[in-house]
Amino acid sequence: MKRIFIIFLPIIFVILSLIALWQTKTRTENSNCCGSNDLSGEIDNSAKLAVFEGKEIEIPQIAFDNPINPPVLGISTDERYIEIDLSEQKLKAWDGNTLFLETLISTGLPWTPTPKGEFQIWIKLRATKMEGGTGKYYYYLPNVPYVMYFEGSGIPSWRGYGLHGTYWHNDFGRTHSHGCVNLPTPVAERLYYWTSPVIPEGKTSIRTTDNNPGTRIVIHE
């Protein structure tokens, strides 16, 4: 009996390893990236502290400030799109063949990658709270500024992938996130007002409609 067990031990080990791998893959595929239950877009002025990678962070004033005169850039057109290069960790915003802006970014870590494909913004929020991760990767981030959630290429909206401003690190050009696209907050602000759906003055959130569709986002290596 002992000899039979020894013979089958490697097979049992392989089966258990495959089960563990499948469970990890399933958790990753079905996990919520940086989603939020609060889609109001309202700033929580009472939330002043955040937690990222085991460190408590005081949220800077830039996350709370609203532009006195929001930029007026005209209605977005089908020619406008955002290109994200994962290998270079760069974002480019195009208006036809004209480059509107280019910036370094931080996309998903190897075990929480940013998806590749073609997407569209489905909602924009002036601010929201993001919380998730475990252990040293736990994060609690109130008042994440200028959030632009996107969907498409088989990725549903509830997965919580988006572009947003970032106050908890300044190490752009390297991967850092749980799948979202981290932007310098001033850049996120510019994109927030440049992209569609166009947000009415005084509003803190806007969803896409047939008459106010979302800007296209192309993500590639």
**Catalytic residue positions, numbered:** 164, 180
CA atoms of 19 and 13, how far apart (whole Å): 10
| Exposed / middle / buried, residue 191 (Cβ in 10 Å: 0-12, 13-18, 19+) | buried
Encoded amino acid at 169, one letter: H
DSSP 197-215: SPPPTT-SEEE-BTTBPPP
Residues 126, 63 contacting (CB under 8 angstroms): no
Helices (H) and strands (E) in the chain, counts: 2, 11
Q: For 159, which DSSP code?
A: G
Distance separating the N- and C-terminal Cα atoms of the chain = 53
